[in-house]
């Protein structure tokens, strides 16, 4: 066997050992992952994948089910997941598979944070926010519903709007989105960017400026209002419980009308 063949064999061997660790991690098997990692480290002590794999093995070893005692404990666990574990998972599994692998970790954090009450200064550490990270829209909806006066507080209102959007569609969430825009321009803009819905973005852009009394706003069943510091960037339904036409249907109607509208005749040559 020549030296080139030996190099190919070595490359294949490190790939096999790395995959052994990854497979155990995918099974959420901390004992198997630890054993596979030790074998990998013994044969390839300088391999670049050892460090991120070690992070993920450690994350499995430290899994817990006991409720968090306080918000600071949630914060530490959340930051570790965001800043340390998530980059390692994306490095080993790739973006799609890595995000899928992380779902269980986000669910675990959300479950452990459930007994803690909502605190405006620790909103990122509430169970509802963590359920959204886990992609469990129904659980996020339920967690928000348990917050007293959630509709009057920007963070839980944004969570509920996102949960409704994810579970249903823009039409179902639009009332809450409009209320959020009225309550907090900043939260509304953040959520609009995160949802990345072309129709929502189009509507939001048109209504971030002063369109009071415009026929377009009236057709959408909305009016703009002055936000904080005199900035006109928010909208609200016209009247409590006012009926709202389907935004997507309305957008389609306007597109069709625009296409069918005859163009003005130009000057005769």
Identify the pLDDT of residue 227.
Answer: 39
Higher pLDDT, 249 or 171: 171
Mean pLDDT of the chain: 82
Identify the pLDDT of residue 246.
Answer: 55
Distance CA 245, CA 45 (A): 63
Q: Please report, rounded to a whole number, the percentage of residues in the chain having pLDDT higher than 90.
A: 67
Listed range (19-33, 71-85, 173-187) with the worst mean pLDDT? 173-187
Identify the pLDDT of residue 144.
Answer: 99
User: How does pLDDT run across 31-69, given as a tens digit for each residue?
Assistant: 999 999 999 999 999 999 999 999 999 999 999 999 999
Identify the pLDDT of residue 204.
Answer: 79
Identify the pLDDT of residue 208.
Answer: 58
Identify the pLDDT of residue 201.
Answer: 87
Residue spans of the domains in the chain: they are: 149-252
Average pLDDT over residues 126-155: 98
For 247-252, which contacts have Cβ atoms below 8 Å and span 24 or more sequence positions?
A: 247/170, 247/171, 247/174, 247/199, 247/203, 247/220, 248/169, 248/170, 248/171, 248/199, 250/219, 250/220, 251/199, 251/202
Identify the pLDDT of residue 202.
Answer: 84
Distance CA 146, CA 118 (A): 9
- Whether the pLDDT of residue 225 is over 60: the answer is no
- Whether the pLDDT of residue 29 is over 80: the answer is yes
């Amino acid at each position: 066997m020549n030296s080139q063949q030996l190099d190919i064999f070595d490359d294949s061997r490190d790939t096999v050992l790395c995959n052994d660790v990854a497979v155990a991690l995918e099974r959420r098997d901390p004992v198997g992952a630890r054993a596979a990692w030790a074998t990998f480290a013994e044969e390839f002590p300088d391999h670049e994948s050892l460090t991120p794999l070690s992070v993920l093995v450690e994350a499995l070893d430290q899994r817990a089910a006991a409720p968090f005692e306080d918000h600071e404990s949630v914060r530490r666990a959340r930051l570790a997941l965001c800043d340390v574990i998530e980059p390692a998972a994306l490095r080993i599994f790739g973006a799609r598979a890595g995000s899928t692998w992380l779902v269980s970790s986000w669910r675990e954090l959300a479950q452990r944070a459930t007994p803690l009450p909502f605190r405006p200064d620790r909103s990122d550490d509430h169970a509802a926010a963590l359920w959204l990270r886990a992609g469990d829209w129904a659980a996020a909806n339920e967690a928000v519903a348990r917050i007293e006066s959630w509709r009057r507080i920007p963070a839980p209102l944004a969570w509920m709007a996102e949960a409704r959007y994810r579970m249903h569609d823009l039409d179902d969430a639009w009332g809450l989105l409009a209320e959020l825009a009225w309550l907090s321009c900043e939260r509304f803009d953040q959520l609009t960017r995160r949802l990345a819905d072309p129709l929502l973005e189009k509507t939001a852009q048109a209504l971030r400026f002063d369109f009071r009394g415009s026929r377009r706003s009236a057709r959408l069943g909305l009016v703009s209002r002055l936000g904080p510091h005199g900035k006109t960037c928010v909208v609200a339904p016209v009247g409590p419980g006012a009926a709202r036409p389907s935004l997507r249907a309305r957008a389609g109607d306007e597109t069709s009308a625009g296409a069918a509208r005859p163009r003005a005749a130009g000057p005769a040559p």
